[in-house]
Structure 1
Amino acid sequence: MEKVDRLYHLVWMSRPLMQVAELAVEQGLEGSGLTVRMRAVLEVLRENGALPVPEIARHLQIQRQYVQVMVNETLAEGLTEQRPNPRHKRSPLLALTDKGQALIEGAVARERVLLEAIGDGFEEQEIATALDVVRRLTERLMGKTGGET
């Protein structure tokens, strides 16, 4: 198989991979009260601290307006709270509440258990190489398509 064919298959396999990954995440959230969308916002805040909506959108690489809908869900459930943003008065910072922090930590812990189970048989170097290839391929495709969504 040629390099171009392998790249083609790699790109197109990303869709079923993301679909089954989202299903696994969704199943792991059962009973928690979290949706996949809410979990995405909480994870960005867990990793980066308090951020305004436009920054969350950049991390998720989706439109700000859609992220605002997601953020509104987390606010309504008491998982996040708004704080003043010293850099921008009209764009408050969004921060995890204790409830939000506990829920995202629990979700990530369950996902790590799943990843340990499915990661059996993969060498650490294989995973590092795959991650590097996907990152570089994403960057190159973003450069060819005009950047972020």
Structure 2
Amino acid sequence: MEKTDLLYRLIWMSRPLMQAAEASVEQGLAGTGLTVRMRAVLEILHAHGDATVPDIARKLDINRQYVQLMVNETLGAGLTVQRPNPRHRRSILLALTEEGRAVIGQVIARERALVAAIGADIDAEDARTALTVVLALVGKLKHHAGKVEG
């Protein structure tokens, strides 16, 4: 298979990969009270600390208004709280509560164990190469889309 064919197939395999990953994540959330959307917000806060809605939207690479809906779910569930932002009065910071920190910590630990199990027979260097290629493709496709749309 030619390089172009391989890259084309790799790009189009991202959809079934994400669908399978989302189904697996959803299954792993059973009993936690979390939705996939809530999990995404909690993961960002777990990894990066307190953040504004626009910060979370940038990290998830999705629309700010949609993130606000996601954030509202976490606030309603008592998994996050709003705090004043010393850098910007009108842009409130979102922070994990103790319950939010505990639940996302458990979810991430289970997911990492699953990834370790399903990836046991995948060579680390192959995984590193795959990640490098995917990151390069994402960057180049985003750049191209910006040029085409702009």
Quick one: distance in 1 between partners of 2:3 and 2:86? 49
Q: Counterpart of 2:49 in structure 1: which amino acid?
A: G
Partner of 1:106: 106
Partner of 1:63: 63
Partner of 1:38: 38
Partner of 2:132: 132
Structure 1 residues 77-112: Cα deviation after superposition (integer angstroms, max 9, x where no partner): 000000111121111000100000001000001111
Structure 1 position 29, deviation (Å): 0.3
Quick one: distance in 1 between partners of 2:91 and 2:71? 13
- Structure 1: which 5+ runs fail to align? none
Partner of 2:5: 5
Q: Counterpart of 1:130 in structure 2: which amino acid?
A: A
Aligned length: 147
> Aligned to 2:14, what secondary structure does the other structure show?
helix
**Where does 1:64-83 land on structure 2 (aligned, <5 Å)?**
64-83=64-83
Quick one: distance in 2 between partners of 1:84 and 1:131? 37
- The structure 1 segments of at least 4 consecutive aligned residues displaced by more than 6 Å after TM superposition are none
Partner of 1:90: 90
Structure 1 residues 52-86: Cα deviation after superposition (integer angstroms, max 9, x where no partner): 00000000000000000000000000000001111
> Aligned to 2:66, what secondary structure does the other structure show?
helix
> Aligned to 2:13, what secondary structure does the other structure show?
helix
Q: Counterpart of 1:50 in structure 2: which amino acid?
A: D
> Aligned to 1:146, what secondary structure does the other structure show?
helix
Quick one: distance in 1 between partners of 2:135 and 2:84? 34
> Aligned to 1:145, what secondary structure does the other structure show?
helix
Q: TM-score, normalised by structure 2?
A: 0.96
> Aligned to 2:30, what secondary structure does the other structure show?
coil
Q: TM-score, normalised by structure 1?
A: 0.97
Q: Counterpart of 1:36 in structure 2: which amino acid?
A: V
Partner of 2:49: 49
What percentage of residue pairs aligned between the two structures are identical?
A: 61
- Structure 2: which 5+ runs fail to align? none
Structure 1 position 120, deviation (Å): 1.4
**Where does 1:136-147 land on structure 2 (aligned, <5 Å)?**
136-146=136-146
Quick one: distance in 2 between partners of 1:120 and 1:7? 25
